[in-house]
A and B are shown apart, each in its own frame.
Chain A
Amino acid sequence: MIDAPLLPLFILLTSLLAAPVLFALPERAASLRTGINLGMAMLKVGLVAWLSLKVSEGVVYDLRFAMLPGLEFKLQADPLAILFVALSAVLWLITTVYSVGYLERGPHRARFFGFFTLCVAATVGIAMAGNLFTFLIFYELLTLATYPLVIHRGTAEALRAGRIYLIYTLAGGLVLLLGTLGLWVLAGTTDFVPGGVLDEVAESRPLAAMLLFAVLVGALGVKATLVPFHAWLPIAMVAPAPVSALLHAVAVVKAGAFGIMRVVYEVFGIETAQALGMTMPLAVLAGVTIIYGSIRAITQDDIKKRLAFSTVSQVSYITLGVALASPIAAVGALAHLIHQGLMKITMFMAAGNLAEGLGVKKVSRMDGVGRAMPGTMLAFSLAALAMIGLPPLAGFVSKWYLAQGGLDAGAGWVIALLLGSSLLNAIYFLPMLHRAWFRDAGAAAFAPARPRIGWMLAAPPVTTAVLVLVAGGFANAPFSPLEWTRFIVAIEYRE
């Protein structure tokens, strides 16, 4: 096979160049727009598959050019980047199908798909950023591209949500800029290097290094919804279902979690971070967020809001796994990056289908929806059970490794935390399933007995649900997320 050193750039450009075209298309050119959307999404999946093959063969991709003296715009394709790129490429394809179905006759489709594509470009850029400076560029682009999606409906409520979203994320971005500057001034580089670049600084100026850690993780914690910076996420769920799905599974929330990974592993290095004594507080903060999110989820009647609080909780598993500073926990964290994405996107798409097909948006109105929409609810149930951690589903695998990692790190409380969290997950998910399957719709039966939703809405959640099953059941197969994860951890822990 021919070698293409520019492959990462091409992957970025598949969505970056599609965006202006999509903006310019007239509103009624629906089939052309769908064609471009799906074509580019498939092309990207193909290119990413090629890239991961090459990287697993040991090819190193490194693209850079100087933006400022000494400061480079740098794209790289290390295994960690591949993990995130692959997730976003696959889920983008699925979400694109879903969005086309969801927004079939809605207004402002050109604008929607333009920003949607830009959002994915930003995510890919975040994944492949080779230094914190490049990461920052795409991180801000992500904020700007998601804002119009959040307020897509253009209602007063959506605008309020958008404003809150913007305040949180741009303030976080500004603090990240400060942190990037701090890193640049302290270390003279912002490169992501396994093992970190700050060991000398940590020795000579530990206080400055600790402050930098707090600034960087705090800034990224806004998007990763660490308590107390989580409040924007449940509010932002007024966005259309495909946007929520993407926001919660791949784009915004994951960008934060992924950034924390990069910072802990490749800016500080896990040993330096541990030596600074910053990992344990982070783990505790993640633990608090896990419990807090779950407790808040229990009382939400709005389906999407309940799912949003569940995301607050679930994403912090990733942060927890990173902060425990044990290679086994790291495996769990990285696997959860993928698994949580698959599970949550399934649930949001299913919730979108309930709202579209039956007009059901509240948990209290879910009675009997299982019989009305069996496919959708089956997918939802599978994902919910996986979230709770039922073996052999995907969520179980993550929790298993996290628990082992907790033991490995000598933090026994992690076991209790995970058990408690699973219990809470069950408390807020099982009643939904119970209502859906075991209760009668009663007199207020749904107006259309068999709601009509197109295959473009029905197929995506089922597909991702199958992926949840596969990712858990075949966790040990080659090229499964888990296997790839072990590959990454070996690099980050320099074993």
Chain B
Amino acid sequence: MQTDPMTLTLFVPLFGAIAAFVLPRAASVIGPFSVLATGAAVALLAREVLAAGAVTVSLGGWAPPLGIALRADGLSVAMLAMTAAVGLLVSLGALDALRDARQRQYFWPLWLLLLTGMNGVYLGTDIFNLYVMIEVIALAAVGLTVLSGTTAALRAGLEYMYASILGALLFLTGVGFVYLQIGRLDFAGLIAAEPSGALSAALALMLVGLLLKTALFPLHFWLPAAHANATAPASALLSGLVVKAALYIFLRLATYMPPPDEMLVTLIGTLGAGAVIWGGIQALRAERLKMLVAWSTVVQIGLIFIAFARAGQIGLAESWKAAAVLILAHGIAKAAMFLAAGRIKDEVGHDVIRDLDRSAIRPTLAQFTFALAAISLIGLPPSLGFIGKWSLMEGALAAGYWHWVAVTMVGTLMSVAYFSRVLAAFLRFDRVRAPVGEHQGWALADAAPLTLALSAITLGLMAAPILSFIELGYPFGATP
């Protein structure tokens, strides 16, 4: 058994999942510690990548195309680190949020399995392994969706499962065709392959599968119900992390594939624009807080694809960075927001937006956290979300793609509109009948989401090092 940090990021959560499943009584201890240990492995890996650029490890000593290789570069370590950090804080939040014994029993094995799958995606170097990993993720994610046990959650989970299976099947079919075409499945083989119509068709199949899994408009239909009806920590993981797996594979493939033509890039940006507008409208109409937050995820996914398409085909060499920053920003801020929304729902007793201002109970800190997360999601300075939006608009403006700038601005205004529906309710008191106490709802459980939200804001000040870190090992362009 190898003990390099890269392998550890896979096996620590995997064994943690098994242990938590076998020992349900100890799961609440095993869970957070496994995530912590994974985080430590990621930190070690980050040091290696900082020193040496991209690092490759062959599992069992077999090099591709025969064996399985893992590769870590700046982008994958950034994703690993974001996942570990968000995951750790969500875990801490879950310790408080999951009161039900049955929920606790299943949450930890599922979440650790999910973590294994996520890390596998970030480190994978061949498309068949990526397929296996997204199936692992889907399995765990569906389990997390239905964890709350309500009818709505079960229904949403079922829909999610169908979408997920369909997406995975499309991806697998694509993988099969790629193998038939070029006889290899690793990224190096993809790069070396002669572009051909058949190969493009195979890749297109994979692409559609991924778009379905990442819920890009109009393939987003399964997402809002699934994310809104899960328990708060599960929603945070699903919205903050899970959709990013398919998004990440998309970003990776986009380089290894034969260069996409301008039409395709424009199409992807247009779908992103559709997501921003349609998701915005739905968020404006949402009646429940968690539903609003879930629709905001649809919007943000769209924004990430606009960032990808911001400067057309020629700009792809730079555009992926804007998309990556937005992915990181959304992961952190959305996890914070879902945890905060869960806290508000717990304290107030419901999450009907219209009646939030009737409650005499005001979970001040959770509301503050929600507001901070909203600042990053709207893209107001100095948050990381602002940096992502700045990069998006800068690239689009420099390349003369005005329409992407316009869509982003419209999306921003809409996000202000739907978030202020909630924020204004926090500050309104004239509809309260009972006397309002002071500083209600301070709890240790607020610490995790607050930390996440504060990081989303302050990481924007450290955008320059983050940007230079994700470029380490030239994720896009050089040999994998």
By a beta-carbon cutoff of 8 Å, the part of chain A in contact with chain B is 23, 26-28, 66-69, 73, 107-108, 110, 136-137, 140-141, 144, 148, 151, 154-156, 159, 162-163, 166, 170-171, 173-174, 177-178, 181-182, 184-185
Q: A137-B381, A144-B375, A170-B413 are in contact. Are A178 and B430 (CB under 8 A)?
A: no
Q: B23 near A: Cβ within 8 Å? A: no
Of all chain A residues, which has the CB nearest B465? A66
| Closest CB in chain B relative to A280 CB, distance in Å | 29
Say how far A260's CB is from chain B's closest CB, in angstroms.
Answer: 20
> Could you say which residues of chain A place their CB within 8 Å of the CB of B387?
67-68
Q: What is the CB-to-nearest-CB distance from A64 to chain B, in angstroms, rounded to a whole number? A: 12
- Which residues of chain B have C-beta atoms less than 8 A from A28's C-beta? 438
Closest partner residue, chain A, to B462 (CB atom): A67
Q: When chains A and B are docked, how far (Å) is the Cα of A166 from the Cα of B397?
A: 26
**Whole-angstrom distance between the alpha carbons of A27 and B438 in the complex?**
7
B387 to chain A, nearest CB (A): 7
What separation, in Å, do the CA atoms of A363 and B391 have in the docked complex?
A: 52
Q: Interface residues of A: mostly helix, strand, loop or mixed?
A: helix
A112 to chain B, nearest CB (A): 11
Least CB distance from B125 to A in Å reads 29
Does B460 count as interface, using CB distance less than 8 angstroms?
A: yes
Q: Number of B interface residues, CB 8 Å?
A: 32
Residues from chain A with a CB closer than 8 A to the CB of B103 are none
Residues of B within 8 A of A (CB): 368, 375, 380-382, 387, 390-391, 393-394, 397-398, 405, 409, 412-413, 416, 420, 424, 427-430, 436, 438-439, 460-461, 463-464, 467-468
Are the C-beta atoms of A68 and B391 separated by less than 8 Å? yes
B379 — nearest CB in chain A belongs to which residue?
A177
Q: Is the CB of A170 within 8 A of B416?
A: yes
Cβ contacts A to B, 9 pairs, < 8 Å = A26-B438, A67-B460, A67-B464, A68-B387, A151-B427, A151-B428, A159-B424, A170-B416, A178-B409
- Given A26-B439, A67-B460, the answer on whether A154 and B420 have CB atoms closer than 8 Å is no
- Which residues does chain A contribute within 8 Å of B381, judged by CB atoms? 136-137, 140-141
Q: How many A-B residue pairs have CB under 8 A?
A: 76
A68, B439: Cβ atoms closer than 8 Å: no
B409 interface neighbour in A67, A151, A174, A185, Cβ under 8 Å: A174
Bound CA span A159–B420, Å: 11
B394 touches A185 (CB 8 A): yes
Secondary structure at the B interface, as helix, strand, loop or mixed, is helix
Which residue of the partner chain B has the closest CB to A66?
B464
Given A26-B439, A69-B467, A151-B424, also A181-B394 (CB < 8 A): yes
> Distance (Å) between the CB of B363 and the closest chain A CB?
14
Q: Lowest 4 CB-CB distances: which A-B pairs, in order?
A: A137-B381, A27-B438, A154-B429, A66-B464
| Shortest beta-carbon distance from A23 to chain B in Å | 8
Contact call B439/A155, Cβ cutoff below 8 A:
no
How many angstroms from the CA of A163 to the CA of B420 in the assembled complex? 8
Query: Using Cβ atoms and an 8 Å threshold, which residues of chain B touch A110?
Result: 438-439
**Contact A68-B427, Cβ < 8 Å, known A26-B439, A178-B393:** no
Within the assembled complex, what's the spacing in Å between the Cα atoms of A306 and B429?
A: 28
Q: Which residues of B contact A151 (CB under 8 A)?
A: 424, 427-428
B420 in contact with A27 (CB, 8 Å): no
Question: Which of A69, A107, A140, A159 has a CB less than 8 Å from the CB of B436?
Answer: A107
Q: Which residues of A contact B468 (CB under 8 A)?
A: 69
Please give me the residue from chain B that is nearest to A182 by CB atom.
Answer: B397
Question: Bound complex: CA of A110 vs CA of B380, how far in Å?
Answer: 24
Of chain A, the residue at the smallest CB distance from B393 is A181
Query: Which one of B412, B430, B463 lies within 8 Å of A67 (CB-CB)?
Result: B463
| Docked pose: A162 CA to B428 CA in angstroms | 11
Q: Is the CB of A174 within 8 A of B413?
A: yes
- In the docked arrangement, what's the CA distance between A177 and B405, Å? 11
The chain B residue sitting closest to A157, CB to CB, is B430
Which residue, B380, B398, B436, B461, has most C-beta atoms of chain A within 10 A?
A: B380
Contact in complex: A163, B424 (CB < 8 Å): yes
Contacts of A73 in B (CB 8 A): 382, 461
Given contacts A27-B438, A107-B436, contact A67 B461 (CB under 8 A): yes
For B466, give the chain A residue with the smallest CB separation. A68
The reply to whether A166 and B420 form a contact with Cβ atoms under 8 Å apart is yes
